[in-house]
Each structure stands twice: as C-alpha cells, then as structure tokens.
Homo-oligomer: A and B are copies of this chain.
Amino acid sequence: MQIDPSPLARPFPAMPAIAGVTLRVARAHYKTWDRCDLTFAELAEGTSVAGVFTRSACASTEVEMGRDDVKNGRARALVVNAGNANAFTGYRGREAVELIRAQVSAALGCGAGEVFVSSTGVIGVPLPKDKAQAGVAAALAAEPCSWEDAAHAIGTTDTFAKGAGASAMIGGTRVELAGIIKGSGMIAPDMATMLGYIFTDADIAPAFLQEALERANAATFSCITVDGDTSTSDTVMVFATGKAANARIDSWDSPGADAFAAALADVCRNLAQLVVRDGEGAAKFITIRVSGAVSDDSARRVGLAIANSPLVKTAIAGEDANWGRVVMAVGKAGEPADRDRLSIAFGGVWAARDGLPVEGYDEAPVAAHLKGEEIDIAVDLGLGDGRATVWTCDLTHGYIAINADYRS
C-alpha cells in the first residue's frame, strides 16, 4: 500500500552537522522491503544523555533498558530498528537487544550500557537476531549519511521525513541542536510509536539535560495527541556531545541555561507538531488553547480531553463550528470547570461567553476559518491562571481507511 504524503506535511529543513555525531544507515531487511531500516548514530566520548519514555505498563524491553541506562547519563551510540517493535516478545526479544549492545560496545570499546536501542514496527515478533547483527555490521561499515537519510530510516508508516533544528548562545559560544522524529503513520498491525532523537554539540551535565528535557516534554510531546492511544515504545532522547566546548551547563544558574532550554523546547515543539501533521488521515492541524484553568496541568488535561474527543475531531473534519461538543469535552475532562463561566472561540471569534451563546454571534468568519488547514480553538474556563496549548488533528475517513480497511 502506497500512502501519499500527508496534506499537512512540511519539507525537511536544512540542519547543520553536529560535532561528535556520525550517522549511518543500513538495510537489516526487518520486513520485505528494500530500504534502510537500521539507523546507527555514533557519539563522541563524553556524550551526555537524557530520555523520556512511554508510561505504558506494557513497555518494550528497549524502553525498560533505556529508562535504566539514561540514569548513568553517558552514551556512545544509538541503534534504531524500523519494522519490528520487539514489544511483547519476552526473553526472546531481550536477547536480540543484548546482542546488538554487545556488538556495538565491542566495536566502539565502550560499555554495553552506553549503547541505546529502540525498535518500532510490528509487535509480538521477536527481533530477528541474525538480521539485527548483519544490519549493525553493515551500518558500522557504511559511509556517514545525512539527517534526512536517518529521518527516513527510522520511519515506518510515516508519510514524510521529519526534522527540526535550533541554535543557542551559551556565554559567547554558539551551540547547535538537530532533531529527527518518526511517528503517527499506523497500518494494522503496526503500532503508533513516536521515536524522537535530538543531538547537540553543547556541553551539558546529564542531570541538567534530563531536567531540561522533562520540562520541554511537558509542554510539547505531552501536549499532542492523534487518537489518544499510547505506544509501548514511545521514546524521546537527547544526546549532548560537548564538542562546542562551551562553559558546561550543570544547573539553571549556569550562564546560557535558559537559552539552551528554550532552544531544546523549540526543537521539541517543532518535532511534536510534525508528528501531528503526519496523523493518520489528518486534513486539518488543530491548536487548542486553554486558559483560566485552576492550574497549567489542569488546563493541559482539559485540552487533551477536547483534542481526544471523537465528536470534536469529526466536527472539525466536517468544518462545523460545533462548540456544543467542546462544552461536552470540557465537562467530561474530570477537571474543575463551571458551565456558567465557560467561553469558547473558533479562529478568535467567541461563540459562547460565560456559559451563554454570544448574542448576535456571526458564524460567517468562523465558517471561513474552519475551511482552512490550520484550526484554532480557544477555551477559557474563567476559574484561574492555568493555561496550556495542545495540538491534534481532525478525525476523517482517512483514519478509518488506514486502520480498518487495509490489512497487513
């Protein structure tokens, strides 16, 4: 099955090389396809690492090992397998990951715990050890490749390659960040997995890198949803090689800490939005701004309740300014809300204010807004200062077609 690029796709951006990072790709033939499906990133000695992982209670072996090893804060390599998620494969899946780690650590002369592995694709089938080892050997011998090559190689049912870059000044030193991500194209029986990797030449202590990533994650990857489903393998990692030789950042008081954190959050936000733009069947990109909540976290949960509502998502697909469905979604969020203080706007036009439809509400500009590709919904709860922005896409026949009509 050939899928056209999402109508919301973005071209792959120009991104600089990151000193201390060498990318290579190879064909492991995890599926019967002729494409690179194994990605290998070699990282300079002294690279710091941080990571956030799925909260699924049924996480893959790769996630469990990664979650443990980031605590040591050191990385020398990343291997990403596409086409097989190696999830729900028990001890047989674990063996393959351990072999990959042993092979890479032998080649680089590093500890096995400095080799991070991710896998994405079909679940319930143990990652084939022979294919993985031949793939790693091929990658070790391959010529270095581009960000775009790597972004393609980590993809499964993605319809376009996704990357985002940024830079920041730390003291007088310019540092670069480059990230790639895959996610949101799902075809039965594959999983909806988001795997994102950000690389920087900045010198950052692992504990601070973890803190900055968690803070960025809370406002970006934790604020997107396509269908409310959470993969067993979701992973976002940051690798900092230190080759820019800036004054090392080890706390929020270090010069440049805020600038670096802002650049990291920028990359995360851009990558997160690209995942939504590749949502199955997506025809409209929806931004939901919630204000007036009792806390930022409450605002985020209200936003996600709206973003995950099939009734809201189908209304947007139908270009219908159905604010009644937004009221319903706010009501079911399980967060403090008061019907008589609730206000709702589409494209900046308030349809309801303080619990009542706006008198003389003109639907014409709202109807025009809803015909576009970028939809803006604002909700004010009128209770406090909490706010959050959440991104999602509409729910269309394309989603059903991708997930129900075609079988593997």
Q: What is the CA–CA distance of A322 and B122 in the complex, to the nearest angstrom?
A: 10
Q: Which residues of B contact A399 (CB under 8 A)?
A: 310, 314, 400
| Inter-subunit contact B58/A339 (CB<8 Å) | yes
Q: A339-B58, A403-B315 are contacts. A191–B328 as well, Cβ < 8 Å?
A: yes
| Inter-subunit contact A124/B324 (CB<8 Å) | yes
Copies of this chain, count: 2
Task: Using CB atoms, name the residue of chain B closest to A357.
Answer: B124
- Which among A19-27, A148-156, A225-233 touches the partner chain? A225-233
Q: Which residues of B contact A324 (CB under 8 A)?
A: 87-88, 122-124, 189, 191
| Inter-subunit contact A318/B90 (CB<8 Å) | no
Q: What is the CA–CA distance of A233 and B91 in the complex, to the nearest angstrom?
A: 49
Q: Which of A152-210 contact B (CB under 8 A)?
A: 186, 188-189, 191-192
Q: Which of A291-323 contact B (CB under 8 A)?
A: 308-311, 314-315, 317-320, 322-323
Interface centre among A311, A314, A401 (most CB of B within 10 A): A311
| Inter-subunit contact B400/A397 (CB<8 Å) | yes
CB distance from A93 to the nearest CB of B (A): 9
Q: Tell me the interface secondary structure of chain A in the complex.
A: loop
| Inter-subunit contact A332/B230 (CB<8 Å) | yes
| Inter-subunit contact A188/B400 (CB<8 Å) | no
| Inter-subunit contact A318/B405 (CB<8 Å) | yes
Q: What is the CA–CA distance of A323 and B58 in the complex, to the nearest angstrom?
A: 13
| Inter-subunit contact A90/B340 (CB<8 Å) | yes
Q: Which residues of B contact A310 (CB under 8 A)?
A: 227-229, 310, 395, 399, 403
Q: What is the CA–CA distance of A330 and B57 in the complex, to the nearest angstrom?
A: 7
Binary flags per residue of A82-115, CB closer than 8 Å to B gives 1, else 0: 0000011110100000000000000000000000
Q: Which residues of B contact A124 (CB under 8 A)?
A: 323-324, 327, 352, 357
| Inter-subunit contact A331/B230 (CB<8 Å) | yes
Which A-B residue pairs are the 4 nearest by beta carbons?
A56-B331, A58-B331, A314-B403, A318-B404
Complex A-B: 13 CB contacts under 8 Å: A55-B334, A57-B331, A58-B327, A58-B331, A58-B342, A124-B323, A188-B322, A189-B322, A227-B311, A232-B339, A314-B404, A315-B403, A320-B407
